[in-house]
Amino acid sequence: MQLYIDAHCHLKNICNYSDDLEKLISQGICGFICNAENPDNWDNILTLTQQYNNVYGCVGVHPWCIGSLQDDWVRDMQKLLNKNSRLMIGEVGLDKNYPDLELQESIFMAQLELAIELNRPIHIHCVGAWDKMLRILKTYKGCVELHAFSASDEILKQLLKKDNVFFSYSAAVLDSGRQKLLEVVKNTPADRILVESDTKSPLIIIDIVKRIADIKSVAVDKIADTIYKNSLRLIENGQIS
């Protein structure tokens, strides 16, 4: 059976579907990378990762959730990561459509530093702030997942110069009106592609993989296998051979 890993989802969709987790697993979706939005999610995500081997947890602060942070959030996050070697960092990043880009950046930078210090993959959200993100990632040495990637072909080219960056495609690729995005998918090397449900049912990643095979004119089982292996490489912190 073909195996799939959902490279970016949230507690909400995992919990909504948790009764059916076994069913999802029986359909080949054997891994779920579950992202946090804010410190309120961290314990629940940790519990879920302890309950299910198939759930890979992330802790972090989403750029939409920077408003209500306690002063000691970085120390708490560091403690949690130190105690749990399987935890990754996410969802973090920059979003121009949300307030206070400067504060977003300082919170994002603190989490990038933790990712380097503790040697963990990081799951990044970026909307409308690619100039800043490219500058930041230029010197970043850790393993990165760019969630729901939909930037331009030029930005893809810049990012491909780094060998530790994965591009995760969401249900947006199912929209045939997104011509520019489809071109970007076509130009993304197979060994850098991940797929994600984000806030939808994890089952959607099977359709996303089929769609990517179609866009790239390659066999579904071949690319599905490559994408699955890419997800494992991400989880293993970018062991790129």
Residues that bind Zn ion (CB under 5 A): 91, 198
Nearer to Zn ion, 10 or 120 (CB): 10
Q: 145 or 198: whose CB is closer to Zn ion?
A: 198
**Distance between CA 222 and CA 11 in Å, rounded?**
30
Q: What are phi and psi of 200, to 5 degrees?
A: -100, 180
3-state secondary structure (DSSP) of residue 179: helix
CB of 93 to Zn ion, least distance (A): 10
Q: Smaller CB distance to Zn ion: residue 6 or 91?
A: 91
Catalogue the E-assigned strands of the chain.
4-10, 29-35, 55-59, 88-95, 122-127, 144-146, 165-169, 193-195
CB 71, min distance to Zn ion, A: 26
Q: Which is nearer to Zn ion, 91 or 145 (CB)?
A: 91
CA pair distance 191, 187, nearest whole angstrom: 12
Contact yes or no for 168/140 (Cβ under 8 A): no
Residues in the chain: 241
Closer by beta carbon to Zn ion, 110 or else 148? 148
Strand pairing report for 193-195 and 29-35: unpaired
Distance CA 28, CA 76 (A): 35
Q: How far is the CB of 40 from Zn ion (least distance, A)?
A: 15
Write down the least CB distance from residue 162 to Zn ion, Å. Answer: 22
Smallest gap from Cβ 184 to Zn ion, in A, equals: 19
Q: Tell me how crowded residue 67 is: count the other CB atoms within 10 A of its CB.
A: 10
Taking the complex as a whole, the smallest distance from the CB of residue 148 to Zn ion amounts, in Å, to 7
The nearest distance, CB 140 to Zn ion, in angstroms, is 20
Strands 144-146 and 4-10: unpaired
**Angle at Cα 68 formed by Cα 64 and Cα 73, nearest 5°?**
100
Question: Rounded distance, CA 106 to CA 101, Å?
Answer: 9
The DSSP code sequence of 12-26 is HHHHHTGGGHHHHHH
